[in-house]
Amino acid sequence: MLRVLVVDDSEVARRLLTGVLGRDGGLQVVGEASSGAEALRLAERLRPDVITMDVQMPGMDGLEATRRIMEQHPAPIVVVSGGHDPADLAHSVRALDAGALAALRKPRGPAEPGFAAEAAELVGTVKLMAEVKVFRRRPATAPTSGPGPGPPPGGALWGRPHPAELVAVGASTGGPAALATILRGLPAAVPVPVLVVQHITPGFDAALATWLDETTPLAVRLAADGQRPRPGEVVIAPAGAHLGLSGDRVELRDGPPLNGHRPSATHLFASVARALGPHAVGVILTGMGSDGAAGLLELRRTGGTVLAQDEASCVVPGMPAAAVAAGAVDQVVPLGELAARIAAAWTPAC
């Protein structure tokens, strides 16, 4: 039985959430908090297996509560957002950077269309995130500014015969914070485009792009079908659409999910392999499951270079581990060193 703490300043919302979660035989709601401060106290006293967290609350909001819980009494946190308000969605994405594992919209009332699917998604996400082993976070420090790291010692990345022309990235659970770390560490003048597949709930994709655009030195935006990727631009797959590269243009597809995912990192990596082969770099970051492994294997077989985030710095090491097990990875790299390794890939071999 997984023990859940529900945090929301609305009594109606708490009643709805506790009803949805309590109907599942594997979950037990052991506490309810109406504020961030109360959530912090109950997290210490109850030590729940997972916490559902509202973000917009008076006093200590959900973002600050998430940050403090992860610093003091770490537990898996699922952000449950109130709706479509851009400020609410942006707050939810910032909570992912503070240590929350996933973000969902609150289920609508039982009489609303789609309620059963939304309730099932909430229950499934809570159960899945409860399995993640979380660790105490150090208090956050302001990101430093500067030109970013240079290439690692030794010049070009393993003597690549061709400088990279594009970087493709795949990520899932824990990915927003990892992406921010990498983008903040890259040089200000990145000479190649960066294409990203991040598994995220529909509605939060635009907020993620806006947050990364505002908090990193690179231009970040959601992908548009047919656009030509530009150097120094980070293009993120919209939720619910496969992102790929066709010739020199971005291609969005509504095809069936691959291994349960749309967008799929495997779709992105495979398309980049076909379009650019040895002129591309694939990067697989923290996440559950095995999405990306098959696509990275195709990329590596065409001469591309593949980097994987190391297990110690992953929130969930499943996706990098699957790529390593498939023989699709050239080098496993700690998160703090990935920006330098990526930058080395567009440095011509000596």
Catalytic residues: 172, 199, 291
Query: In this structure, what token pair is assigned to residue 6?
Result: 């529900």
Closest by alpha carbon to 138, among 68, 75, 78, 185?
A: 68
Phi, psi dihedral angles at 37 (to 5 degrees)? -65, -40
Cα torsion 42, 62, 137, 174 to 10°: value is 120
**Helix, strand, or coil here: 206?**
helix
Residues 6+ apart with CB under 8 A from 270: 244, 294, 295, 298, 299
The secondary structure of 213-224 as a DSSP string is HHHSSSEEEE--
Residues 6+ apart with CB under 8 A from 55: 61, 62, 63, 79, 81, 82, 88, 91, 92, 95
* Residue 71: C-alpha distances to residues 108, 280, 287 (Å): 32, 38, 22
* Beta pairing partners, 261: 258
Instruction: Tell me how many degrees the CA angle 86-92-96 measures, rounded to the nearest 5.
Output: 145
Q: Strands 242-246 and 249-253: what pairing?
A: antiparallel
What is the edge-to-edge ordering of all strands in the sheet holding 77-81? 27-33, 2-7, 50-53, 77-81, 102-105
Query: In this structure, what token pair is assigned to residue 110?
Result: 């039982």
* Beta pairing partners, 253: 242
8 Å CB contact between 3 and 48: yes
